[in-house]
Amino acid sequence: MRKSIRISIVEYLKEKLSPLKSETMLTIFSIVLMLVVIVFISGVTYILTTENPIPIAFLSGGAIRVFLWSINAQSHAETIVVALYYLMGTGGVWLYLNAATRPYNPRTTKYMLFFSFLLILLAGIGIYTAYLAKFTPP
């Protein structure tokens, strides 16, 4: 009688990612994984699966609208802008973590903390204004 050995997903991933034991490979893997997650969170799946994607909305009178005013529609430009905002926020968090874990130079740490706050603030304001633009009719 054969006994099937079941392993958990953590053990499976640990086994498959064992060649990534160097810090450089783990950093590269983390950055690639972060970029993939940001692309999917920003809405690329809708752009890839919709039948008639809208690159950008041109309104009467010559106005251009990046954020479409419907929850059921998304433009290509909206996906790119939201991905950039998420990337800014992630960069701010990464900068903050670097400043918090490497406090050997106070001046560098101070600048890293300032710019991390600035990136997170600008990303938050950008996402908030994008949300307002999304749900404000023309």
Summarize pLDDT for 54-64 with one digit per residue, the tens: 888 887 888 88
Mean pLDDT of 63-89: 88
3-class secondary structure, 86: helix
- Determine, yes or no, domain membership for 14: no
Q: Which residues of 1-31 are buried (b: 16+ CB within 10 A; e: fewer)?
A: eeeeeeeeeeeeeeeeeeeeeeeeeeeeeee
Q: Is residue 66 part of a domain?
A: no
pLDDT of residue 81: 93
Domain that holds residue 108: 72-138
Once rounded to an integer, what is the mean pLDDT over residues 83-107?
90
Residue 36 lies in a domain: no
Per the CB < 8 A criterion, the answer to whether 76 and 55 are in contact is yes
Q: Is residue 137 part of a domain?
A: yes
Instruction: Check residues 125 and 8 and name the one with the higher pLDDT.
Output: 125
Question: Domain total for the chain?
Answer: 1
- Residue 115 in domain: yes
Residues belonging to the chain? 138
Q: Is residue 119 in a domain?
A: yes
| 128/102: higher pLDDT | 128
Are 126 and 85 in contact by the 8 Å Cβ rule? The answer is yes
Has residue 97 been placed in a domain?
Answer: yes
How big is the chain by its Cα radius of gyration, in Å? 21
pTM: 0.77
Whether 28 is in a domain gets the answer no
